[in-house]
Amino acid sequence: MKTLFKWVSRISDAIAATLLAVIFFTFLLQIGSRYTPRIIRNLGLEETFPTLAAVQPLGWTLELIAILWVWVIFFSCTFVVREWDHVKFDIIYLAVSRRMRRIFAVISAAAIVAGMLYAFLPTLDYIDWMKIRKTSTVRNPFTGSKIPMRTVFSVYGAFMIVVAARYAWLAIDTFRNGPPKTELEVVLEAQAAADAKAAEAQS
């Protein structure tokens, strides 16, 4: 199971990195199509580089970047970003006892699960309704037709399912085994283990 999760994590990281790379190169293409003809004309090189001078700004690049950005955000939050990667305002959480941390963690996780489940069906209905709307300039490279907005935002449905499942498991695990260790506790345990290993090696 750990091997499966490791491979899923690696594949998810690769997909997210690929999406970011496509966004970057699409952005460069957008900048190039907009400013290259101006540079050519300003330098008086229209006759030398007539093809570059005739390039028109690409309208589809802006919409493609927006679509890919939506997918990067929700795909990464679904499969890449871990619980401890999130920014947290945990001053009060860290100030209370471990027992209270368990209560806080269970309530917070249960609230997230309840919110996701409550909004899930209405959200799916709205995403399905968006099939009547389609992209303005981006087209399916295989069929040449415009892409329904339902397809664009379908990743949000997967995001809701995975987040609800993740926090449901977190609530159960916290209820059974106590709250997750804080970053300081993890660091101190690692340091203690390293010190013990060093002392054992010296002896």
For residues 188 and 194, give the distance between their C-alpha atoms in angstroms, rounded to a whole number: 10
Q: Can you give the pLDDT at residue 1? A: 64
Q: Can you give the pLDDT at residue 88? A: 78
Of the three residues 38, 62, 81, the one that is the final residue of a domain is 81
Sign of the C-alpha dihedral computed for residues 117, 128, 17 and 3 taken in this order: positive
Let me know whether 181 and 109 are in one domain.
yes
Mean pLDDT computed over 77-86: 81
Residue bearing tokens 């059974």: 176
Q: With pLDDT > 90 as the criterion, what percentage of the chain qualifies?
A: 51
CA atoms within 13 A on the CB side of 17: 6
Let me know whether 12 and 50 are in one domain.
yes
* 148 DSSP β-pair partners: 134
Of the three residues 58, 81, 104, the one that is the final residue of a domain is 81
Buried b (16+ CB within 10 A) or exposed e, 70-89: ebbbbbbbbbeeeeeeeeee
Which is more confidently placed, 189 or 23?
23
Let me know whether 14 and 98 are in one domain.
no
The parent domain of residue 145 ranges over 83-203
Average pLDDT of the residues of the chain: 88
Of the three residues 19, 47, 81, the one that is the final residue of a domain is 81
For residues 164 and 176, give the distance between their C-alpha atoms in angstroms, rounded to a whole number: 18
Tokens of 162: 């995975």
Q: Can you give the pLDDT at residue 58? A: 87
Q: Flag the least confident range among 21-35, 64-78, 80-94, 96-110.
A: 80-94
Let me know whether 91 and 188 are in one domain.
yes
Let me know whether 99 and 184 are in one domain.
yes
Q: What Rg value do the Cα atoms of the chain yield, rounded?
A: 25
Contact 92, 68 (CB under 8 A): no
Let me know whether 113 and 165 are in one domain.
yes
Let me know whether 90 and 130 are in one domain.
yes
| Secondary structure (DSSP) of 38-86 | HHHHHTT-TTTSHHHHTPPPPSHHHHHHHHHHHHHHHHHHHHT--GGGS
Sign of the C-alpha dihedral computed for residues 33, 34, 37 and 40 taken in this order: negative
Let me know whether 99 and 161 are in one domain.
yes
Residue 64 reports pLDDT greater than 70 = yes
Residue 194 banded pLDDT, cuts 50, 70, 90: confident
Which is more confidently placed, 54 or 72?
72
Q: How many domains does the chain have?
A: 2
Mean pLDDT computed over 100-119: 94
Let me know whether 128 and 189 are in one domain.
yes
pLDDT, tens digit (0-9, with 9 covering 90-100), for 6-40 = 888 889 899 999 999 999 999 999 999 888 888 88
Q: Flag the least confident range among 45-49, 145-149, 154-158, 163-167.
A: 45-49
Q: Flag the least confident range among 31-45, 136-150, 189-203.
A: 189-203
Residue 98 reports pLDDT greater than 90 = no
Let me know whether 98 and 56 are in one domain.
no
